[in-house]
Amino acid sequence: MAGVNMGTGTPQDAADLVEYCNHPGGTAWSDLRIRNGHRAPHAIKRWCVGNEMDGDWQIGHLDAVDYGKKAREAMKLMRWTDETIQTVVCGSASPNMPTWPEWDRIVLEHTYDLADYLSIHRYYENPGDDDDFLASHLDMDRFIETSAATCDYVKAKVRSKKTMGLSFDEWNVWYQSRQAPHPWERAPRLLEDRYSLLDALVFGGMAISLLNHADRVRVACLAQLVNVIAPIFTEPGGPAWRQTIFYPFRDVSTLSPAAPRGARRSSTRSATCRPSAAASRCARSCARRSRRRSPAATSPLSPRRPCATRSRGRSPSSRSTRTACARFARRSTSRPSARPKWSRAPSSARAPSSAAPTSRPPTPPKGPTPSVPRASASPAATPAATP
């Protein structure tokens, strides 16, 4: 993700930067990139159109209406330069701002059809009450849900079919109250917060909140990564080491893979997991089991066993699980070429040959229909099913 300057910059400056980064060559800005030593395009797909533009600390600060108009023109030029990019418009800098969430509503009303994400930011610090600090993730839940509700309101107002995603591109534990003025110096030590175990617990709760709302929070960027409010510290010419918040960040990044187009919900909200996520998990579970099954278990003559999902304590009889199993079953049975050769019925149970006469069979006499024995595979030719 890259950002364009919406304070002192112009919409044309934004389009020029996209051209420099993404265009293959043959234009003034792309040729300049090639002369600078980068022949292949950088292919940056997500672009932030400004940053925290409702903050009075920003050079070129704008109100919501002026920013919405400027951002819309910038996105038009950026997309004309590269139609494959995705754009992120600025939401309010913080829920503590007096402009939130009204700023977000006004900006989205100007840009909803061109933007792909709304940018939101949130930091937490311990005000002296450990219990309140540990519950920061609850406030983060409410913040995400309010931002999503604002997007949905604008979606209904402008009569759009698109659901706006959230880009939570700044979040962390940050002790802003510890900042102090400093004289001008080169490479000063700024915002080098030292984190405790308590900070790591709060950080982990925030990460779980992001996972619980991954159906709407489609981008989440930790700010920052090295030295400045960071999980990793370094010394010039010396060692590097991990802070306490490194470990929950590592675990969330490596142990909770997200399902396609949905969220892999945590165990605390498994009962409200959306069907799309359940379907993805169930499909993967069915695919793994089908590879382990024996021919008898996958024979079309044998009844299909229900899929008992093992995803975080969910009941196999839940509605979303049954829906997921049914969808996966339809996908599996709609591909005759994928059926193994040994799944065919024995010759005694096959339909008559096409060469046989096609005369109409006689009408059976009225009365109880005699039961027809069900054909089954020979035990000698079919190994036992794997439990």
Q: How many Å is the Cα radius of gyration of the chain?
A: 29
Q: Report pLDDT for 365.
A: 53
> Residue 81 in contact with residue 18, Cβ under 8 Å?
yes
The residue from 109, 125, 170, 235 that is catalytic is 170
Higher pLDDT, 338 or 113: 113
Q: Report pLDDT for 90.
A: 97
Q: Report pLDDT for 281.
A: 56
Q: Which two three-digit tokens encode residue 371?
A: 């039961």
Please indicate, yes or no, whether the overall pTM of this predicted structure exceeds 0.75: no
Of 112-126, 137-151, 165-179, 356-370, minimum mean pLDDT range? 356-370
Q: Which CATH superfamily is domain 2-178+187-272 in?
A: Glycosidases (3.20.20.80)
The residue from 52, 145, 185, 235 that is catalytic is 52
pLDDT surpassing 90 at residue 38: yes
Residue-wise pLDDT tens digits, 303-320 = 344 444 344 444 444 444
Within 8 A by CB and 6+ apart from 282, the residues are: 307, 309, 311, 321, 324, 325, 328
> Residue 280 in contact with residue 331, Cβ under 8 Å?
no
Residue-wise pLDDT tens digits, 44-53 = 999 999 999 9
Q: Whose CA is closest to 41, among 27, 16, 23, 29? A: 23
Of 11-20, 159-168, 242-251, 340-349, minimum mean pLDDT range? 340-349
Q: DSSP secondary structure string, 100-167?
A: TTHHHHHHHHHHTTT-SEEEEEEEE---S-HHHHHTHHHHHHHHHHHHHHHHHHHHHHTT-SPPPEEE
Residue-wise pLDDT tens digits, 9-23 = 999 999 999 999 999
Is 102 noted as a catalytic residue in this protein?
Answer: no
pLDDT surpassing 80 at residue 371: no
Q: 3 has which bridge partners?
A: 48
Percent of the chain at pLDDT > 90 equals: 59
Q: Where are the domains of the chain?
A: 2-178+187-272, 277-334
Q: Report pLDDT for 291.
A: 53
| Average pLDDT value for the chain | 78
DSSP H/E element including 177: none
Is 170 noted as a catalytic residue in this protein?
Answer: yes
**What residue type is assigned to position 288 of the chain?**
R
- Which pairs count as long-range contacts for 225-228, CB under 8 Å and 24+ apart, including other chains? 227/189, 227/192, 228/190, 228/191, 228/192
Residue 61: C-alpha distances to residues 53, 65, 70, 162, 237 (Å): 6, 12, 12, 29, 39
Residue 69: C-alpha distances to residues 26, 51, 64, 110, 154 (Å): 31, 15, 9, 6, 16
Q: Report pLDDT for 305.
A: 41
The span from the CA of 51 to the CA of 5, in Å, is 8
Quick count: other Cβ atoms within 10 Å of Cβ 260?
7
pLDDT surpassing 60 at residue 159: yes
